[in-house]
Amino acid sequence: MCGIFGYCGPRHPLAELLIEGLRRLEYRGYDSAGVAVRTSGGVRVVKSVGPVRHLEARLREQGWDERGASDWGVGIAHTRWATHGPPTEANAHPHSDVRRRIFLVHNGILDNYEAHKGRLMARGVRFESETDTEVLANLIGERYVSGLAQAVAAALREVTGTFGLAVISAEEPDRLVVARRGSPIVLGIGDGETLVASDVTPILPFTNRVIYLEDNEVADISPRGVEIRNLDNIPVRRDMHQVEWTVDAAEKGGHAHFMLKEIFEQPRAIEDTVRGRLDWERASARLDGLKLTPREMAAFSRIILTACGTSLHAAMVGEYYLEDLAGRPVEVAQAAEFRYRNPIIERDTLVVAISQSGETADTLAAVREAQNKGAVVASICNVVGSTIARETGRGIYLHAGPEISVASTKAFSCQVAVLLLLALKFGRMNRLSPSAGEAILREVERLPARVQEVLDGAEAIREVAERYATARDFFYIGRGLLYPVALEGALKLKEISYIHAEGYHAAELKHGPLALLEESVPVLALAPRTPGYERMLANIQECRARGAPVIALRTRGDDEVGRVADCVLEIPECSEWACPIVATVALQLLAYYAARARGCPIDQPRHLAKSVTVE
């Protein structure tokens, strides 16, 4: 949640550079924004409510002028997803201490800020905002004696909770200090300049060399370079990484929205995800990043998949894969509940954490709890160098490229593809025959082409979406492997079109939800020719008998479904293993076109942000 961008180097004008960085981070939060830049007259702060373009307009209105500033430029910027206090200019970042010496931007939540705030108010400090961040600014200001980095470290030793922050001082014009605990901070190492951000996306136009801060580390950035220490003032050495993503990968590429671009990138993303991982010789999968020998993998008698949101739905598909193909008992655990319900972890348990960003706070907490209980923990992540990937030390990268839209699309498809390969790997060490393994490899190999066929039919899906875009409520129903797809399809529709949508197992309709069906409530029935097909036809009839219009997702050319549905979405014929990915792409397009017909802000749905780094 929230986006931080900062710069320390010789470039001017800084305000324009900071605004461009915020634009590339706006998917992390967009209810207010602000910048703080060192000028000849001190530190100047400009804030505004709303998206980054409002901040840019405010800067133009005020005639921003950096003339007279030193040759060395220092500035910080922030785009906010509200936690403490509503979106107002007072609550927008950057915040300062009462003496206006310290200016900072902050992601995360400080758990004990109220106690500190009470003590500061008793000493006469007056607060202008409702945020925990302003409290932290004053804590740093209290300890600002021998240098900014030392003051930041001293204050952070006294707070609990999560933070990613960037701090500048009116008294040290060439210094930028950043720190993290539970909220990501990336340093971009350029030619004589350093950039900081919440993720790599805004850094890519300047450099692909990055350093990832670890928890409880403080980086002191100046013209002399970067010095990293932990909160106990012990020097730390961090390796530099090369980012494979390009600047173009984080642009819209001619599409109206990032979401549409990312939907259409899925054939290529799946290709990149499975490349080099199809082991035809053994009719299995190559998953070297797991760092597990066949003997070690065979010893696991139980698997736990833990995730949140869209990744949780991918895990639910993975549960079917692993149990059907590998014969392993699998539990899908909602990551936010994992550490609070005291889960049973046995010595032969493998825990797999799934997260697009690799920074999801609840999933990271689940990782740490599983490790604390002695489990072997692996991860499935898209972002190289992310916290979950680093802390697990083993896992599978998606290589899907950056995903900018808040609504996840290509990450889901690639996660499911990886889970199918994981199930194949386990299955071949157990009961799965070589011929069955080869059949699954062929399905995986054909996935990009199958997805492309769905994308080629986007115009027909658009027509259906526009026909039902005025609905207030929607049901999605599925069976077996397609039940999680129903949940995911409903999630996509509700989060970007604001249509109330619910996903159900089709067998659950008669246990309550049928009471809500009427002419104004469309039902999307997942009815391709896969296991459960006949029962789904009966469920469609049940819905139509209650007056509800039915949109059926069918295998191309299936006239039987066409006769019982009001309209259809078509996907190419594919196996039950490939169907969850192929069907989901059609539902992504349906949600996108419905949201577009309703005039919704598709890439930035209200109240949501991309990377959930707070509990």
457-602 maps to which CATH number?
A: 3.40.50.10490
| pLDDT (mean) for 371-382 | 94
- pLDDT per residue as tens digits for the range 190-235: 999 999 998 888 898 899 999 999 999 999 999 889 999 999 999 9
Q: Is 182:108 a contact under the CB 8 Å cutoff?
A: yes
- The DSSP letter of residue 608 is -
pLDDT score at 266: 97
- pLDDT per residue as tens digits for the range 17-49: 999 998 888 777 678 899 999 887 788 999 999
Q: Which residues fall within 8 angstroms of residue 535, CB to CB, at 6 or more apart?
A: 479, 506, 507
Asked if pLDDT for residue 188 goes beyond 80, the answer is: yes
Q: Token match 């705030």: residue?
A: 117
Question: What amino acid positions are annotated as catalytic residues?
Answer: 2, 610
Picking from 16, 74, 40, the residue whose alpha carbon sits closest to that of residue 194 is: 74
Residue ranges in 62-208 assigned as alpha helix (H): 113-122, 132-142, 148-156
Helix axes 148-156, 132-142, angle to 10 degrees: 120
- pLDDT per residue as tens digits for the range 283-336: 999 999 999 998 999 999 999 999 999 999 999 999 999 999 999 999 999 999
DSSP 340-400: TS-----TTEEEEEEESSS--HHHHHHHHHHHHTT-EEEEEESSTT-HHHHHH--EEE---
CB-hemisphere CA count at 13 Å for 120?
22
The kind and range of the H/E element at 317 are helix 309-321
pLDDT score at 13: 80
DSSP 489-541: HHHHHHHHH--EEEEEEGGGGGGTGGGG-STT--EEEE--SSTTHHHHHHHHH
Q: Token match 């990043």: residue?
A: 289
Q: Which two tokens stand for residue 131?
A: 């945020």
Q: Which two tokens stand for residue 388?
A: 């979950």
Q: How far apart are CA 391 and CA 367, in angstroms?
A: 8
pLDDT score at 16: 87
Q: Which residue has the higher pLDDT, 198 or 596?
A: 596
CATH topology of domain 255-453: Rossmann fold (3.40.50)
- pLDDT per residue as tens digits for the range 134-181: 999 999 999 999 899 999 999 999 999 889 999 999 999 899 999 999
Q: How far apart are CA 430 and CA 325, in angstroms?
A: 9
Q: Which residues fall within 8 angstroms of residue 260, CB to CB, at 6 or more apart?
A: 592, 602
Q: How far apart are CA 271 and CA 274, in angstroms?
A: 5
Q: In 3-state terms, what secondary structure has residue 56?
A: helix
Domain boundaries of the chain, sorted by first residue: 3-246, 255-453, 457-602
3-246 maps to which CATH number?
A: 3.60.20.10
- Mean pLDDT score of the chain, rounded to an integer? 91
Q: Tell me the whole-structure pTM to 2 decimals.
A: 0.81
Q: How far apart are CA 314 and CA 421, in angstroms?
A: 13
Q: How far apart are CA 397 and CA 390, in angstroms?
A: 11
Fold match, 255-453 / 457-602: yes
| pLDDT (mean) for 562-574 | 94
Q: Is 332:360 a contact under the CB 8 Å cutoff?
A: no
pLDDT score at 610: 64
Q: What are phi and psi of 66, to 5 degrees?
A: -105, 10
pLDDT score at 525: 97
Q: How far apart are CA 414 and CA 471, in angstroms?
A: 31
* CA triple 420-421-423, angle to 5 deg: 65
Q: Are strands 376-381 and 395-397 parallel, antiparallel or unpaired?
A: parallel
Q: In 3-state terms, what secondary structure has residue 551?
A: strand
- The DSSP letter of residue 308 is -
Hey, how many other C-beta atoms are within 10 angstroms of the C-beta on 526? 31
Q: Which two tokens stand for residue 487?
A: 């949940």
Q: In a 10 Å sphere around its CB, with 0-12 CB exposed, 13-18 middle and 19+ buried, how is residue 230 labelled?
A: middle
Picking from 472, 507, 503, 471, the residue whose alpha carbon sits closest to that of residue 488 is: 503
